[in-house]
Each structure stands twice: as C-alpha cells, then as structure tokens.
Chain A
Amino acid sequence: DAGVIQSPRHEVTEMGQEVTLRCKPISGHDYLFWYRQTMMRGLELLIYFNNNVPIDDSGMPEDRFSAKMPNASFSTLKIQPSEPRDSAVYFCASSSIRVINEQFFGPGTRLTVL
C-alpha cells in the first residue's frame, strides 16, 4: 500500500493567489482528515469527512478555506485568496472504522505564502 499521498510536497506562492492542496487517502479508508501544523498553534484539525461527506468543519479558520471530497480516493483543500499567515505544513490523514482511531498521515505539504 502506498500510504496517504499528498501533493505538492512544497508550495511557494504570493499573497492573494489561490492554492490547492491534494490528498489521496489509503484505499478502503472511510475517514479523511485535514490538519494544519504551525510552531505557534501546533497541530489543528481543520475538517474531516466520512464516506466523502464533511462531518465537522469547525476548525476551518475562515471562508477563504474550503475542502472537497468528490470521491473516495481524492480530496482537495483550497485557500483563496492566500495570506502570509496561512504559511504552515498541511497534513492529510485517513482512517478506517475497522481499526478504531488509528489515523495514517501523509507526508504533508509545506506552504509558504510570501
């Protein structure tokens, strides 16, 4: 199994630009999570999906952030417009109801907004 795949691994963009982060969960997993990690705030859960349906988006910081999961094998996290304070490492994770609460993390996308 290839594990959770995220792309790109690094993204550098300018303030005001649209950024799209991509995630492919482990095949057969029912849940997908998006996290943000910064030195100041640690690891924050942004949103999670169950069977492609958003369950809890209370961690999404503001309307500039949106996430979709059009099918079981793909999810996107979009920031439009991006701001320097969005600079962080964004992780995607997936899990299966068959292995309770064990989340498998991707390698992350390091986003830098100039």
Chain B
Amino acid sequence: GNSVTQMEGPVTLSEEAFLTINCTYTATGYPSLFWYVQYPGEGLQLLLKATKADDKGSNKGFEATYRKETTSFHLEKGSVQVSDSAVYFCALSDQGGTASKLTFGTGTRLQVTL
C-alpha cells in the first residue's frame, strides 16, 4: 500500500537557518504530493503541492520538488523564522485526478529559536 516516511523531529534551528525536512514515499501509479503545516492549537493547512514528476511546489518561502527517481519530496526553506515553528506533514494522494483520501506521514516538529 501507499506510505509516507518523514524524518523524525523535533528539528531545532536558529532563526535565519536553512531548513530541510526529508520526505520519501511509496505508491503505485503517479500520486500527487503535498506538504501540510499545523500551527499550535490549529488544524492542518495546505502549504504546497506538486502533481507530477519534476514539479516544484512553493509557498511562503518554502519549496519542494517532486523527484520520481528518488521517490522524494523534501521540504526546504532558505531562512526560517520563529513564526515557522509548527508541525509539518508530508502527504500523498492515492488516486490521481479526483479528490480522494490522503496518506500522511507522521509529522516533523520544527522549533525555531531567536
């Protein structure tokens, strides 16, 4: 079946540091890939997505590239801020072309300090 593996957290960084959160996946077919973010006390919200190989999703300074050859979708940001402290979830869709259920990773907590 489909699965998503994320690096374990927490990840602790100083403000303005470079961020990478690794995500690899196992899936049949050609899934779409997503990063969701959960701020304290809130629900998840979509951060970025990519729907086919070599696509790059980007939002709020975060980027991730859909790498089919390595089955990866690593999240990066060049300079993190304290306000980026949250839990980040990598996810994939199990069907292409329709709204359907997502398979989530276990989440990676990011803590950014001054």
Contact with A along B72-112 (1 / 0, CB 8 A): 00000000000000000100010001111110111100000
Chain A interface size range: 20 to 34
Q: Judge whether B101 and A45 touch: CB under 8 Å.
A: yes
| Residue of A56, A91, A97, A107 touching B99 (CB-CB under 8 A) | A97
Q: Which residues of A contact B101 (CB under 8 A)?
A: 33, 45, 48, 56
Q: Which residues of B contact A106 (CB under 8 A)?
A: 43
Interface size (B, Cβ < 8 Å)?
22
Q: Which residues of B contact A76 (CB under 8 A)?
A: none
Report whether over half of chain B's contact residues are helix, strand or loop; otherwise say mixed.
Answer: loop
Q: Judge whether B43 and A101 touch: CB under 8 Å.
A: no
| Residue of A56, A96, A101 touching B34 (CB-CB under 8 A) | A101
Q: Which residues of A contact B (CB under 8 A)?
A: 4, 30-31, 33, 42-43, 45, 48, 56, 91, 93, 95-97, 99-108
For the complex of A and B, list the 6 residue pairs with the smallest distance between their C-beta atoms, beginning with the closest: A105-B43, A42-B106, A101-B93, A105-B44, A97-B99, A95-B99
